[in-house]
Amino acid sequence: MSRNLIKAFGHYFFGRFVVLYPSFFTAAPDVFDFLDSIEKHIHVEVRKLYPDAQLPSFETSRESRDKLIMIYRSKHPFATLAAGLIEGCLAHYQVTADIEMVDCSAGQGTHVEFHITRMAA
């Protein structure tokens, strides 16, 4: 399957999250706040509903006000889908950013660093 199609599905899927779970977004007024909340808040809620779910992990660190590093780890090679979800998130928050995707899993897509740099408006 084409990487562009998988990313496009990530955009669509993120839009569904916005419609189905609006409280996640009102709690995070900024795109980086939202991305920070995925592991600590959103995945906690998902595990309450689906205790057997095999979710990816997302570790975040802020390099500066305008740069976030997000580390994706999963048993499943869905880093391209994660990239589409991140792009959908940026679009939702109306933020323009540069995303550098560094695959740390020898091209397997199971351990990827996303370096997200917010561009000036």
Does residue 121 have a pLDDT over 80? no
Give per-residue pLDDT as tens, 29-50: 899 999 999 989 888 888 898 9
| Cα angle for residues 9, 13, 16 (degrees, 5° grid) | 145
Total structural domains within the chain: 1
| CATH assignment of the domain containing 79 | 3.90.1520.10
The torsion defined by the Cα of 30, 13, 38 and 101, in degrees rounded to 10, comes to -80
pLDDT of residue 42: 87
pLDDT of residue 1: 62
Give per-residue pLDDT as tens, 64-74: 999 999 999 99
The pTM of the whole model exceeds 0.75: yes
d(CA 67, CA 31): 11
Spatial CB neighbours of 105, under 8 Å, sequence gap ≥ 6: 77, 111, 112
Give per-residue pLDDT as tens, 49-95: 899 999 999 999 999 999 999 999 999 999 999 999 999 999 999 99
Sheet (strand 111-118) strand order: 57-64, 67-73, 111-118, 97-103
d(CA 85, CA 24): 15
Give per-residue pLDDT as tens, 17-32: 999 989 888 888 899 9
Q: Using the structure block, give the residue that is written with the tokens 């309450």.
A: 48
Range of the domain at 77: 3-118
Cβ pair 62, 68 in contact under 8 A: yes
